[in-house]
Structure 1
Amino acid sequence: MSHNNNDLTLSAPLSGPVLTLGNVPDEVFASGAMGDGIAIDPLNDCLHAPCDGVVIHVARTGHALTIRADNGAEVLLHVGIDTVELKGEGFALLVKEGARVSNGQALVRFDLDRIARQCKSLISLIIVTNGDQFELQPIASQTIKVGEPMLRVVSRHASTARTLVADNAHTEANASIRITHRGGLHARPAALIRKTAQGFSSQSHLHFAGKSASCDSLIGLMGLGIGEQDEVQVTCRGKDCDAALQALIAALSVAVSEESHAPVAVTPRPANTEAGVLQGVCAAPGLVCGPLFRLNGIELPQDPGNHSADEQLQHLDSALEQVRSEIRNTLDHARQRKAVEEEEIFAAHLALLEDPTLLEAATGSIEQGNAATHAWRDAIQAQCAVLLALGKPLFAERANDLRDLQQRVLRALLGEAWHFELPAGAIVAAHELTPSDLLQLSAQNAAGICMAEGGATSHVAILARGKGLPCVVALGSEVLDVPPGQRVVLDAVNGRLELTPDDARHAQVHQIRDAQKLRRQEQQAQAQAPAKTLDGVSIEVAANVASSAEAQIAHENGADGVGLLRTEFLFVDRRTAPDEQEQRQAYQAVLDAMGDKSVIIRTIDVGGDKQLDYLPLPAEANPVLGLRGIRMAQVRPELLDQQLRALLQVSPLQRCRILLPMVSEVDELLHIRQRLDELCAELELTQRPELGVMIEVPAAALMAEQLAEHADFLSIGTNDLSQYTLAMDRDHAGLAARVDAMHPALLRLIAQTCIGAAKHGRWVGVCGALASDPLATPVLIGLGVSELSVSPPQIAEIKDRVRHMDAAQCRQLSLGLLNLSSAKAVRQACQHHWPLS
């Protein structure tokens, strides 16, 4: 390698025949979407550095890395095509990110035979990803050896770039930040970033792994492939750059959950080994049978070209406006039903429809004489290819959101109302459905959904779970070969599609479904009655809610009270904090909705991973171990004071109980109890409401006896208690399945909490997800829990479960569970002792 000022000659990192990018068997690389460069079909098994520089990015799977050369050129070296699917097997990294390397240094050893056998191609890429700053001049012959000169990289505008930076230096602000959004910067968080940036006149960009994107472009942001916990640079240029930077840092620090449930790790497609059965992955549980209905996407005929650009642009504009209007209607309905996840998904779709990268690509194609239909399809396909090339399952699933917009706009352009006659009780099969497809199918009473592709964390999966529609994904292309109208059984819980069920199996499925339906009806009929065990022990079954509307539903479903009102709903998605009056009215509305039942109201639990726009907190390396819950009140006491004042003014006050989150020592409780007494005196109240403590950190469980001396009750938050006890992030897709509150260590902490509370005559409730798990009901009763706070739809089921238990037997058997080896062993024992019918 040699370089003169800003010019650089790259030497061959591999030996073998040289190809131009256009001959690479992959549309992303061949189209130049990743940048300009060259390809080699390797004959050796070691990748070498093509120049001196610093390794700025290494793929987790070891198949690719990027080197920043001394002249600023960023060179991506990518071994093979689709090698990300090997998940690192067959690759030995010899350098780390951040390492300084010299020309010719060995970087990665790889297994040539394995890649040749298992991957699409061995052809390897050398691409300059910031090619807008450089011109590439190939100098290689048809075959090349490691170390021979291969490509000249000539700087295009070094001098102008330097001048531009100098001119704008006084109006630029920048910072580094770690991304906390679950799953990285996909469509929904990217929409939040874009919305934030649009509030300022400054131009804002994100920089990651040698690539940059304007914060104006959702597709550009997603195309960076930023994962959870990746560090990115933010730059803002313009008059209000400082304010823009602060707002973007806040937006990037908020953990927008990919879904409210524990995320399902994207699993590889299981092998279809059983005859007559296709095996996939459960995206939404359920068991149904019915005729299969095949749903196809829109296929466009060949475009003759030579269209009037003005006419086609007008067509596209009116189609886009029609789809925007449809999406706005969907958003309004979602807001009315408080379907937060649905609202977030379609808000991101609306933002994608206004994306400059997408619109410019489509407009440019129309101006070259193409039809609006083909221009729109090609613009979307190009962006999907970029997302798919990132090699991350979550980003591949988000390409489905783009395909949704492709289909919707094409329908509007073609004037086709999306109408078909869905047979009664049909199970719909498709290559991959989109969110808008799913809403249509749900409205037409589809019985179930099965897809050749897709993932269990996709937006379609989230919506299917919300609609209670059984859904299996990743079944493979064979599902598309099943003749339409064939009767099948979809066993979504086990991820199975049974293609040739006999009459006996059909009858069995109908019998199981009828029995489940009858059982639910019986449970619902008894939902308002109290829950007592066979030997007369009363268990209160309350509800977890986040608004007065949810409290109303809980009351109708037979809740014995509200076991947890999450007050964050009042504080998020707004510019300023709610005042005392607004808070008091909101809390009063929940009390009113619950008739004469008691309501436990948790004080604000934000901070760390849940940030508020008007409460800037420093970005934290470990948000869940930082300023959360009651710790926030110590930093901003006026917020808690205001909330306590509002709570003390509800009527009747004796029905209101206050719950403190994230308590880890007795002094925190004493301090707030004293403050509550002072506020009662100020408001001339003769009694203060009951004050409880959430047990969600191991320290609180271990100190339960001491806390119970000064608290009126204890409520166990098993979700947080699990992650803190097991040292596993419950939002980590790879660990989510192991963060199980039935772990013997958790059960021991629950037992210790109940023993400690009993010494002072205090009661213990559970408001975490474990309370909603019917398998756990007898265990919690046996360990001494007397209140279970569950999601409103599960009240009847949990009450029914309590009524079938003998509390004395539960106590006796639960103690034995504490000595088992794992959560799995506990669950097996529970299924044996107290089977779920």
Structure 2
Amino acid sequence: MPNNNKELILSAPLSGPVLTLAHVPDAVFASGAMGDGIAIDPLNDTLYAPCDGEVIHVARTGHAVTLRADNGAELLLHLGLDTVELQGDGFSMLVKEGARVSNGQALLRYDVDSVAQRCKSLVSLLIITNGEHFQARPITLKGVKVGEPLLHIVAKRPGEIRGNDADMDIEVFGQIRIAHRGGLHARPAALVRQTAQGFKSRSHLHFGGRSASCDSVMGLMGLAINEQAQVHVSCRGSDAEAALQALLATLSTAAAENDHAHAPPVKAPSRAAEDGVLQGVCAAPGLVAGPLVRLDGLQLPDDDGGHDIEEQRQRLRQALEHVSGDIRLTLENAKARRHDNEQAIFSAHLALLEDPALLDAAYVSIDQGDAATHAWSRSIDAQCQVLRQLGSPLLAERANDLRDLRQRVLRALLGEAWQFEVPAGAIVAAQELTPSDLLHLSAQGVAGVCMAEGGATSHVAILARGKGVPCLVALGDALLAQAPGQSVVLDADGGRLELAPTAERLTQVQQAQARRAALRAQQQSLAHAPARTIDGVGIEIAANVASSAEAGQAVANGADGVGLLRTEFLFVDRRTAPDEQEQCQAYQAVLDAMGEKPVIIRTIDVGGDKQLDYLPLPAEANPVLGLRGIRLALVHPELLDQQLRALLQTRPLHRCRILLPMVTEVDELLHIRQRLDALVAELDLSERPQLGVMIEVPAAALLAEQLAEHADFLSIGTNDLSQYTLAMDRDHAGLAARVDALHPALLLLIAQTCAGAAKHGRWVGVCGALASDPLATPVLIGLGVRELSVSPPQVGEIKDRVRHLDAGQCRRVSTDLLNLASAAAVRQACHQHWPLG
């Protein structure tokens, strides 16, 4: 066992300014969710070991490495933010897993310029991932050079470890009704665990005469707590009252998840026998044909026992660390792409992987002489059996998440890579697939998947719907008796797997697939034509971009202009502000890329979660409500003046439109307009570019008429407007599913914005995520929006959507939608009035 009583001084793995985690421009790292530590904004191109230790995990994409120091501290060294998206391009890993490294040894190199231009930030992290046993005390918060003392790592005393409070006599109790859809299954249980771990007190849930520690996801799931069940919560320790209130809030409010909201109607299998057809349940819709490919799970040989206990314990620890690292990378990738469902599912997997119920059982088996492989497998099987016996179909489905972890850890133990290679276009058959299986199969381009077991609300089903992979479940054991290679038709909508389709039927399905492909091709072929509704109302479909390269993609995809150019890419991840010439060149490049089309350029929007090293801002309790957007520009007018000068030097000036972020009152707009007019006069220009206001706080929407009197146009940022209106952080894992911009309150604000703008003859656009949602297109048109700015690949689709709508009907129906009670009701009405597909 490692000696974790030793203190340790970590040396700087990089050279550069030192930041506390609170100043890292990433919510996951800044919140401490990944662990305690420190950050460096690097000036060099090589990452070095901060101490002697062993390499226990190397990221496949080469941007991160985890070491175990000799005192047992586990250290994640992560180069840059969102660098997993680069897929290893620009990185060169210099060590391998299992290697012994010395303090100051080079671990990885990277191409500074290449990586910096493509990632969110070069700010790099040193995180203690097993921080429950260690404390990190910064030695310096100034700039450091490689090898200089950086962090003092100290093992926590028993009394400092959560749950070992000196004052354990304080105990409080509460009760609450469970609001989570489907009850307390894996994902809400993981949220409860995450909440409990933020306090020193020990917390338990009590239900049906049984109790479970809030530290154990398995224990919480084992209580089989249904939706709306009344549970009791107990917390014991010095911060018991705070822990209790936090847990009660988590159990009662972080409830809306996407399991059921986006699940297709479950179709029960027909009991009428039909030759050549297996009946199942639709888990993800679609109609596809292709060769059947059988996928079998990993099987273990018999174990004769008698193994070295410490060796097997070490093997299991290393395998768990390896899988944990892989899951964290999956989470990082999902977060970067805002795949909320995927993020929630694998967050729950990570919590299960650390669950004491699983780990203790596995280590007990090893102590009795079992191999690590068999000990882990038996531990998982035992917990799966517990879930099956609870009588809850939903919890029985969650046993599949445990089987996923069994497969992943066994592969790590056996040193086996992913074993299957499935040809694109195949239909995969299996006893039951796991979430990891689904991600791999989707990446390989399979046409569809079908399972003998499984359910329509399983995590595999949720992922299949998100990836657009047709999926049938509960087909029965007859599925596994089918010969591989035969052509089949997977009609997920009808709940059927057709085993012997005729040539005519195969042709029919292929024609349906061809029609869908042709529709996409047709949309793209017409993407460069204007978008007009059936009754002749023109809607401009622009693109959101962040560089001249993306502007080029926008033109290729038929965009009518740039609806939002985010200029932050010029200001972040550097030591000094870009000068006037550099800014002008960057803006001119975007205008040049767009030809004769207009470009809306948003002035610098930093603050909040986006910080500038060369513009230190005071620490704020809630930076999203603090000094950001136009507020920051007014406090530091030199930044805005320089940017406005650069914008005024672009040509032709009439195609450049300036957009002001985070405006809340008319005086802010008037001040910037006066400053812009002064600069126009100073530069002796004959024209001033249009000046617009972003509507992203409720105050601006409510003052739209007054703002429109002095602005040339208004652009609605639905992402921020949603979170500010609903008082829900859109990055909060438990609330993300509820931050829906089709909420009636948001629609009322959009309607008021359009009405206010119309009184002064101004046009209104939408540049937030809602503009890219085809279901929302008729609503926005009906409320008076005349410009939609979307991601470049969606231009053709949204233009096609506009051409099939009647603006008059959109106006009549959208007025009625304002009276509905929820976002779900609005979405349902939209599907009825303007069905997709």
Give TM-score scaled by structure 1 length: 0.57
**Could you say which residue in structure 2 is the equivalent of 1:281?**
282
Q: Any gaps of 5 or more consecutive residues in structure 2?
A: 1-161, 610-617, 649-655, 683-687
Q: Deviations over 1:504-527 (max 9, x none)?
A: 232122112223223323433554
Identity of aligned residues (%): 52
For the 8 Å contact 1:754–1:783, the answer to whether it is kept is: yes
1:788 maps to 788
* Residue aligned with 2:167, SS: helix
- Mapped partners of 1:297, 1:587: distance in 2: 58
Aligned CA distance change for structure 1 residues 704 and 305 (closer, same or farther; 3 Å): same
Determine whether 1:811 maps to 2:812. no
Contact residue 293 and residue 427 of structure 2 kept, 8 A = yes
Distance in 2, matches of 1:261 and 1:551, equals 36
Residues 278, 475 of structure 2: 8 Å contact kept: no
Name the counterpart of 1:524: 524
* CA displacement at 1:376 relative to structure 2: 0.8
Q: Determine if the alignment matches structure 1 residue 652 to structure 2 residue 683.
A: no
Deviations 1:227-246 (A, max 9, x none): 899998685858xx699969
- What's the counterpart of residue 445 of structure 1? 445
Structure 1 residues 258-297: aligned runs within 5 Å = 263-264=261-262, 270-272=268-270, 275=274, 276=277, 278-283=279-284, 285-297=285-297
Q: CA deviation at 1:190?
A: 6.4
Distance 1:562 1:748 in 2: 26
The aligned residue for residue 362 of structure 1 is: 362
Query: Which residue is 2:757 aligned to?
Result: 757
Q: How does 1:153-172 map to 2 (within 5 A)?
A: 168-169=166-167
Matched residue, 2:471: 471
Q: Give the conservation status (yes or no) of the 8 Å contact 2:718–2:741.
A: no
Q: Which stretch of the first structure deviates more once superposed, 288-297 or 541-550?
A: 541-550
Amino acid at match of 2:799: K
- The 3-state SS of whatever aligns with 2:166 is helix
Deviations 1:505-553 (A, max 9, x none): 3212211222322332343355456545688754221346799998886
SS in 2 for 1:402: helix
Alignment partners' CA distance in 1, 2:673 and 2:233: 48
Q: Which one-letter code corresponds to 2:166 in the other structure?
A: N
**Structure showing greater Rg:** 1
Most deviating of 168-177 and 490-499 = 168-177
Contact 2:783 2:815 in 1 (8 A): no
Q: How does 1:133-152 map to 2 (within 5 A)?
A: none
1:427 positional shift: 0.9
For residues 71-86 of structure 1, what are the structure 2 equivalents within 5 Å?
A: none
Superposition deviation, residue 399 in structure 1: 3.6
Asked if 1 retains the 8 angstrom alpha-carbon contact of 2:179 and 2:227, the reply is yes
CA distance in 2, matches of 1:496, 1:591: 56
Following the alignment from structure 1 to structure 2, what is the Cα–Cα distance between the partners of residues 387 and 685? Answer: 74
Q: Secondary structure at the match of 2:665?
A: helix
Alignment-mate amino acid for residue 471 of structure 1 = C
1:362 deviates by 0.3
2:666 maps to: 670
Amino acid of the structure 1 residue aligned with 2:440: Q
Alignment partner, residue 101 of structure 2:
none
Query: Given the superposition, is the C-alpha separation of residues 316 and 398 from structure 1 closer, same or farther in structure 2, using an over 3 Å criterion?
Result: same
SS at match of 2:445: coil
Unaligned runs of 5+ residues in structure 1 are 1-163, 608-612, 618-627, 662-667
1:576-599 Cα distance to aligned partner (Å, 9 max, x none): 9999969x9999989977855214
Deviation at 1:433, TM superposition (A): 1.6
Q: Would the alpha carbon gap of residues 602 and 830 (structure 1) be closer, same or farther in structure 2, given more than 3 Å must change? A: farther
Q: Which residue of 1 aligns with 2:127?
A: none
Q: 1:398 to 1:547 in 2, by over 3 A?
A: farther
Task: Identify the residue that residue 692 of structure 1 maps to in structure 2.
Answer: 693
Give 1:206's aligned residue: 203
Structure 1 counterpart of 2:600, from 598, 601, 609:
598
Distance in 2 (CA, whole Å) between partners of 1:546 and 1:383 is 48
* Cα displacement (A) at 1:749: 8.1
- Residues 334-349 of structure 1 mapped to structure 2, 5 A cutoff: 342=342, 345-346=345-346, 349=349
Give the alignment of 1:531-680 within 5 angstroms.
Answer: 531=531, 538-543=538-543, 557-560=557-560, 563=563, 595=593, 597-599=599-601, 616=621, 632=625, 650=643, 651-652=646-647, 655-660=657-662, 668-670=664-666, 672-673=668-669
What SS does the aligned partner of 2:429 have?
strand
* Aligned pairs, number: 632
Of 518-527 and 430-439, the range deviating more from structure 2 = 518-527
Asked if 1:379 corresponds to 2:379, the answer is yes
Q: Name the CA distance, whole Å, in 1 between partners of 2:771 and 2:476.
A: 37
User: Secondary structure at the residue paired with 2:370?
Assistant: coil
Provide the rounded CA distance (Å) in 2 between the counterparts of 1:319 and 1:490: 37
Which residues of 2 match residues 382-393 of structure 1 at below 5 A? 382-386=382-386
1:274-304 deviation digits (Å, cap 9, x = unpaired): 7436352343x54321122232323446655
Contact 1:366 1:372 in 2 (8 A): yes
Residue identity opposite 1:692 in structure 2: V
Asked whether the 8 Å contact 1:783–1:811 carries over to 2, the reply is no
- Please show how residues 58-97 of structure 1 align to structure 2 within 5 Å: none
In structure 1, what is the Cα distance between the partners aligned to 2:641 and 2:496? 54
Contact 2:527 2:557 in 1 (8 A): yes
Q: Is the 2:171–2:237 contact (alpha carbons within 8 Å) kept by the matching residues of 1? A: yes
- The amino acid across from 2:451 in the alignment is M
CA contact (8 A) 1:280 1:473 kept: yes
Q: CA deviation at 1:404?
A: 0.9
Q: Is the 8 A contact 1:532 1:539 kept in 2?
A: yes
Name the amino acid aligned to 1:376. W
Q: Aligned letter for 2:282?
A: V
* CA root-mean-square deviation: 6.4
- Specify the code of the residue in structure 2 equivalent to 1:213: S
- 1:162-208 CA-partner distances (Å, limit 9, x unpaired): xx99982289798989999988876567667777887x8x7443333
CA–CA separation in structure 2 for the residues paired with 1:702 and 1:226: 43
Residue pair 1:754, 1:785 contacting (<8 A) in 2 also: yes
Taking the aligned partners of 1:250 and 1:600, their CA distance within structure 2 comes to 41
TM-score (norm 2): 0.57
Whether contact under 8 Å (1:196, 1:247) holds in the other structure is no
For 2:742 and 2:242, how far apart are their aligned partners in 1?
42
